[in-house]
Structure 1
């Protein structure tokens, strides 16, 4: 098999439930062999519909889905050999853990002796060895989700599909399982496709992320590129925290400046090559904004007033007022333990590195 060929390809795929509105529109997407790909987006953006079409639980209205170059659009779900993990676990309550894991093997006519060995290995893989005789109801939520994952892996699937599998768990357990899932992905070398609306989760686990909005992919990129260089205003606002400043675009080409309503100018990157004079918004990450001090006088800066100070344990977040009508600027300030930190009401100067200021033309208002 040619490794350059994607494992899965969506070609011109559309999906409509009512014949009028498109839940997914003109989707072209390649899923690479062995990658962890997250489908990220708000509710109703088309990410779960895309996963359900890949699983075979939904059929495209138009277009084709290919697996290893062969069309699978009309292949029933049980013939695709994909593992599936749901948010609600979907375990059989009347069966033991071992029987839950053995079920997909018995359906595939795997000999009983081999079933027992595969179940043992799958439970060891998710750190649940020795729980074969327990019932799902006697397990914690985290343990039940590990059982569901083991069941999705026990029959050696070609692809593992996950629909917000950690959404029902508390924050600490969710973060722990994120790390375990990523480690398991590295060990197995399988392709994982993971649906989530949590951008932190997507950044933690993924090799690449497809950001969905209104049935289309706004950007598909590796996690660093997605965070550092959002392709448009939607991605910049949906992935990570940003300070957003409004004004008018000045200058042409890739390098330009945002002119605030009071006349102050901030140099930045004209992401979509908008024309001079266009209404625009600049987005910058909290950790990229710096407080000007005597030791760092260089670079563009704005006078501001600290409105609120929020303690986050390892850092402070300063919410700073820049001008009437502008959103508060968020500054992430590491806690070093040395020296006094700004307090509410203090006057400060904020520095905005031009390479970190990404400027986008505002969307046209509907007529």
Structure 2
């Protein structure tokens, strides 16, 4: 059964009285989930997090915490943990003192405070660094200290604003897995802001995709990736091969689209585009099949394109193929049979994975 911890009820935010940074936001955050707010710069995701934290006040609407209105409750009374991109550690304090700070301001006794700090240090595997100062730590270690400080007072909600943004790629990917494992272990509700789509998909239970102050789609990661509901989500989340065309036939939720070269492409008619409508047909590059053996009968949704390039990515190869003015990207495993640049390749686009958007 749904167990909401936070509810945004018709929330709006404007800074200048004219332009809405967040528009009519209705969002429910479930207790114990890892929810990522994903979107480009200026999409409203960070403002939403700041309103939840209490650092910004909604222009209209309400924010409820377990059905209690906290719209104008100051940040220190919300009892939320917060992790920022720059970590905001006190340079003159040791790791242990930094983590203890939220307990000190809450006036916990020394023995209880020390016990909670030890537990938090164990949680992020930094017990051996308790007496060091932030300047003596690596970026990943500082990030863990900031996380331990956010968790040490047992908050019901932990808010994170791009906390991995300053880390290099390898460390960032490692910390994504660490955060996901920590979340599963603790069962605390995490709300995480990022503009990195792979980061959101890797860690989250659900992702809310923001653009222009509006949630375009909110779904579990697999549904979001496999079933984008509009053009923006389809092109923003994950890689896509995108082909422009015009609808020539519709049947229930299916569409037949004529590409500029006249080739017909069958796909899912996501937004119920009518005949004659210009649409964008999207398919994930890993869903495109390269047909190496001639089929006894032509397979529908097969395009014959010229291979322009083969790019090695370490864990897969990526083909760039051209069909007139259209460019197609295909992801293949390293074990796939090689194809020569300049060759004509038969590319099969399964109709159930082609999604057509108005």
Shift of 1:295: 6.4
Any idea what the Cα deviations from partners look like across 1:44-90, whole Å, max 9, x if unmatched? 00000000000000000000000000000011100000000000010
1:365 paired residue number = none
1:203 paired residue number = 201
2:307 paired residue number = 306
1:264 paired residue number = 263
Shift of 1:298: 3.4
Q: Work out whether 1:360 is the aligned partner of 2:357.
A: yes
**Aligned-partner SS, 2:17:** coil
- Quote the Cα distance in structure 2 between the aligned partners of 1:42 and 1:255: 31
- Quote the Cα distance in structure 2 between the aligned partners of 1:141 and 1:175: 13
Of 341, 344, 347, the match for 2:341: 344
**Aligned-partner SS, 1:7:** strand
Shift of 1:16: 0.3
Structure 1: which 5+ residue stretches go unaligned? 362-367
1:18 paired residue number = 16
Shift of 1:322: 1.0
- Quote the Cα distance in structure 2 between the aligned partners of 1:250 and 1:334: 35
Q: Is the 8 A contact 1:232 1:271 kept in 2?
A: yes
Q: Is the 8 A contact 1:5 1:68 kept in 2?
A: no
- Quote the Cα distance in structure 2 between the aligned partners of 1:185 and 1:5: 17
1:56 paired residue number = 54
- Quote the Cα distance in structure 1 between the aligned partners of 2:58 and 2:344: 57
1:109 paired residue number = 107
Shift of 1:130: 2.2
Structure 1 stretch displaced more, 342-351 or 149-158: 342-351
Any idea what the Cα deviations from partners look like across 1:4-36, whole Å, max 9, x if unmatched? 341000000000011110110000000001000
TM-score (norm 1): 0.95
- Quote the Cα distance in structure 1 between the aligned partners of 2:222 and 2:2: 23
TM-score (norm 2): 0.97
- Across the aligned residues of Structure 1 and Structure 2, the Cα RMSD in angstroms comes to 1.1
- Quote the Cα distance in structure 1 between the aligned partners of 2:321 and 2:2: 49
**Aligned-partner SS, 1:251:** strand
Counting matched residue pairs gives 355
Any idea what the Cα deviations from partners look like across 1:258-296, whole Å, max 9, x if unmatched? 211221100000001011110111000000111112265
Any idea what the Cα deviations from partners look like across 1:207-247, whole Å, max 9, x if unmatched? 00000000000000000000000000000000000001001
Of 110, 113, 132, the match for 1:134: 132
